[in-house]
Amino acid sequence: MIPAVFEYFAPQSVKEAIGLLEKHGDDAKVLAGGHSLLPIMKLRLAQPKVIVDIGRISGLDGIKAEGQKIAIGALTTHDAVEHNTLLMEKCPLLSEAAAVIGDMQVRNRGTIGGAAAHADPAADYPAALLALDAEIVATGPQGSRTIPAGAFFVDMLTTSLKPNELITALHVPALARGTGSAYQKHPHPASGYAVVGVAAVVTVSGGKCQRAAIGITGVAGKAYRATAVEKALAGQALDEATVAKAAAHAADGVEPQGDLYASGQFRAHLASVYTKRAVLLAASRAK
């Protein structure tokens, strides 16, 4: 299908882009890589009157160390996240998640900021961002504010971004020694989206789990932290039986979504299976 008629702007600065968002309010949508927005515009599930294309704004991409954190520009592509040597060494979970997003074309054009802002409940990044306790930097007319990932993803396709704000950067931690991570995913055979995706960050000391953070995508209306699993793992030896018992709680407290490919019950089962795999892999990497 052909999108509805819209007015197009290509601002050259963050300030100019925010001015356009302020002026047009809910009539405006931000375009970054376009792999989230354009398909739903073609289906006319979204019919914005104004498109603000931020792809020409310089300085909104790139990855660099900032103390114990790593700053990632909002326009950084999935391919850059996958292959960046700093992330691969200090925060490999994000690179691992980026590597299984869509296909090569999507990874070369789609951006981490655009994916986060779209908040698709089956996207890969949200699980990783939640498990990493990442921070999203939103810039608006009053300046910038930092939003914890746990407060950023509100509901299906809904975030805590204001209509006149842009994501300008994301901050993730550099993982310390003794901490391992893993992302395990059951992809939909047609779309590549996560039927279930599990991101695990596990800190091991003395053979026992000191801390576990589990982010899950694809199961519910939004990505979430599997806190019941995290609590069950704390202080425990990470053998297969113990991890399996904890992983059985992967869908606790959420309402699993069903569709023609996978029922809610099947998604809950997959959440348990992939949580076990992710935790065991992360624990092995922590050593």
Going by DSSP bridges, is the β-strand pair 208-217/224-225 parallel, antiparallel, or unpaired? antiparallel
CATH of domain 7-53: 3.30.43.10
> What confidence score (pLDDT) does residue 169 get?
98
Q: Which fold has domain 63-173?
A: 3.30.465
> What confidence score (pLDDT) does residue 92 get?
98
> What confidence score (pLDDT) does residue 96 get?
98
pLDDT tens figures, 107-136: 999 999 999 999 999 999 999 999 999 999
CATH of domain 179-286: 3.30.390.50
Q: What is the mean pLDDT of residues 233-253?
A: 98
Q: Is the pLDDT of residue 273 over 90?
A: yes
Q: Of 216, 193, 200, which is closest to residue 127 (Cα–Cα)?
A: 216
> What confidence score (pLDDT) does residue 287 get?
80
Q: Supply the DSSP string of 180-199, one letter for each residue.
A: EEEEEEEE-TTT--EEEEEE
Q: What is the mean pLDDT of residues 146-157?
A: 98
Distances (CA, A) of 157 to 3, 196, 238: 19, 17, 35
**Token pair recorded at residue 226:** 């599997």
Residue corresponding to tokens 């053979």: 207
Give domain limits for the chain: 7-53, 63-173, 179-286
Distance CA 225, CA 213 (A): 7
pLDDT tens figures, 14-38: 999 999 999 999 999 999 999 889 9
Distance CA 93, CA 132 (A): 8
> What confidence score (pLDDT) does residue 1 get?
76
- Report the percent of the chain where pLDDT is more than 70: 100
> Would the CATH topology of 7-53 be identical to that of 63-173?
no
> What confidence score (pLDDT) does residue 4 get?
94
pLDDT tens figures, 39-64: 999 999 999 999 999 999 999 999 99
Q: What is the mean pLDDT of residues 248-258?
A: 98
Q: What is the mean pLDDT of the chain?
A: 97
Distance CA 123, CA 217 (A): 7
Say what the alpha-carbon torsion angle 89, 91, 94, 95 is, to the nearest 10 degrees: 0
Q: Is the pLDDT of residue 232 over 80?
A: yes
Q: At what angle do helices 264-286 and 240-247 cross, to 10 degrees?
A: 140
